[in-house]
Amino acid sequence: MSDKPRISIDQLRIGLYVHLDLAWFEHPFALSHFKIRSEEQIRTIRGLGLSSVRYDPALSDRDLPPSPAAVATEAAAAATSEPAAGQPAPAIAEALAAKRAMMERVRTQRTAAAGIEQAFVDTARAVRQIEKNLQARPPQAVSQATQLVGRIVDSILCAPELAIHVMGDRMGGEELYFHSLNVTMLSLMAARELQLPAEQFMTLGLGALFHDIGRKEIPGRILMKLEPLTQAERSLYEMHCQYGVDVGRRIGLAPAVLDIVFEHHELFDGSGYPRKLKGEASGLLSRIVALANHYDELCNPFNLATALTPHEALSQMFARWRGKFDPKLLQLFIRCLGVYPPGSIVQLSNGAIGMVATVNTKKPMKPMLVIHDESVPRDQAILVDLDRESELSVAKAIRPAQLPGEIYNYLSPRQRVSYYFDAGQAGLPTVTP
């Protein structure tokens, strides 16, 4: 960014995109580079002791800064009200104090995020153990699954607010178990927003966790095939729903759970399988799992080259495939995850690039983001909470492949998108492999 032209402090105008050559903690703004949107911001910058700033013509509303003569009167007026050197104005001192408080919140958030990520890893390991025990020790597997889902349900139901976090890619080799865990998490989060009766959560959680157990009966050459399946292969693959019911009966799953296993590929327009059930002919819990399952398969397909970003997945489900899902559930699902779900790469209204890290289901349009800032080390990346930064908003989503290399490496977009939750005061579920 050193090639950006400089302007004197008296040339600042609304609409200029400026870069402050100060450490992040030395100024009161959320970011070190931004578009000026108010006279108050200009007064604040002038009070920081800088004689000049860099600006970006490409991101500014004007191609060139105004001439000094055009702002001479304003600059003179501002000069009379500026504090003595080394004495920040009270408003700036107050803003810097707020910035220090923000930095402390960021440190707390990082600690909390590390705990949530560890809870996700532990849960994925528990799912792996459950799946391993399905064949050898079915009663133990079902007991472990019931306990695990029960702890997750308790945490989700007790949480005053539900914050959904995107997880990192390096999760200790548990990737094979992410799909069933993702579908379980997304289904239970949707059920909370739907305010389902508490007694239905266990059935939903177990049905989501075991929805794909029939796939173990499908040959690997079909499951791992990258090319489109032939009609015969497709017919065999679709049998995994019935195979899942057969396995579920052998291990003692309840009939209501088996209904979810059997119906999780049914679609609202009747184009699903195995029975082509239409509308509400499939159960409500099955329709929730079908929605969560489809979303996760779009974001995390076997062939990652075809993966959609979370924003693209939701957009396509709403724009192109809306008729395939229960419309009320689809709207609720989008409201829960937000238009820009965790894991989305976005550009903010001030031009900054970031990755959505956390969404609060009560304020899905005000996510928390990891922001790219070349002046801040990657392991200390800025976290910006849009709920607190009222002047900032998400302008658009960006595909990771469109990012410049340095920004891509800084933000590290997730190849696989997995979600976990912050249960707030309720604490995180404890899991035992």
pLDDT at 86: 47
* Rounded CA separation 169/415 (Å): 7
pLDDT band at 84 (very low <50, low <70, confident <90, very high): very low
* Rounded CA separation 159/361 (Å): 12
Beta carbons within 8 Å of 318's beta carbon, 6+ residues apart: 330, 334
pLDDT at 423: 59
pLDDT > 80? residue 95? no
What average pLDDT does the segment 266-295 reach? 97
Question: What would the pLDDT profile of 206-217 be if each residue is shown by its tens digit?
Answer: 999 999 999 999
* Rounded CA separation 144/82 (Å): 66
pLDDT > 70? residue 130? yes
**Phi-psi sector, 429: left (phi>0), alpha (psi -120 to 50), beta:** beta
pLDDT > 90? residue 246? yes
Q: What is the 3-state secondary structure (H, E, C) of the chain?
A: CCCCCEEEHHHCCCCCEEECCCCHHHCCCCCCEEECCCHHHHHHHHCCCCCEEEECHHHCCCCCCCCHHHHHHHHHHHHHHCCCCCCCCHHHHHHHHHHHHHHHHHHHHHHHHHHHHHHHHHHHHHHHHHHHHHHHCHHHHHHHHHHHHHHHHHHHHHCCCCEEEECCCCCCCCHHHHHHHHHHHHHHHHHHHHCCCCHHHHHHHHHHHCCCHHHHHCCHHHHCCCCCCCHHHHHHHHCHHHHHHHHHHHHCCCHHHHHHHHHCCCCCECCCCCCCCEHHHCCHHHHHHHHHHHHHHHHCCCCHHHCCCHHHHHHHHHHCCHHHCCHHHHHHHHHHHCCCCCCCEEEECCCCEEEEEEEECCCCCCCEEEECCCCCCHHHCEEEECCCCCCCCEEEEECHHHCCHHHHHHHCCCCCCCEEEECHHHCCCCCCC
368-371 and 345-348 beta bridge pairing: unpaired
- What six digits make up the tokens of 38? 């108010």
pLDDT at 176: 62
> What is the pTM for the complete model shown?
0.82
Q: Which residues pair with 354 in a beta bridge?
A: 346, 371
Q: 38 versus 172: which is more confidently predicted?
A: 38
Beta carbons within 8 Å of 291's beta carbon, 6+ residues apart: 190, 325, 326, 329, 330, 333
Burial of 330 (0-12, 13-18, 19+ CB in 10 A): buried
* Rounded CA separation 75/43 (Å): 10
Q: 242 versus 91: which is more confidently predicted?
A: 242
What average pLDDT does the segment 398-409 reach? 93
What average pLDDT does the segment 48-71 reach? 72
Structural domains in the chain, CATH included, are 6-88 (no CATH), 96-426 (1.10.3210.10)
pLDDT band at 277 (very low <50, low <70, confident <90, very high): very high
pLDDT band at 424 (very low <50, low <70, confident <90, very high): low
Measured from the Cβ of residue 219, the count of other Cβ atoms closer than 10 Å reads 11
pLDDT at 302: 84
pLDDT band at 113 (very low <50, low <70, confident <90, very high): confident
pLDDT band at 412 (very low <50, low <70, confident <90, very high): confident
pLDDT > 80? residue 427? no
pLDDT at 100: 73
What average pLDDT does the segment 313-328 reach? 94
pLDDT > 80? residue 264? yes
* Rounded CA separation 140/119 (Å): 22
Among all chains, which residue has been given the structure tokens 């209501």? 256
* Rounded CA separation 64/55 (Å): 9
45: Cα separation from own chain's centroid? 33
Question: What would the pLDDT profile of 9-58 be if each residue is shown by its tens digit?
Answer: 989 999 898 988 887 778 888 788 888 888 888 988 988 888 999 998 88
Question: What would the pLDDT profile of 332-387 be if each residue is shown by its tens digit?
Answer: 999 999 999 999 999 998 889 999 999 988 888 899 999 998 878 888 888 888 99
**Phi-psi sector, 270: left (phi>0), alpha (psi -120 to 50), beta:** left
pLDDT band at 425 (very low <50, low <70, confident <90, very high): very low
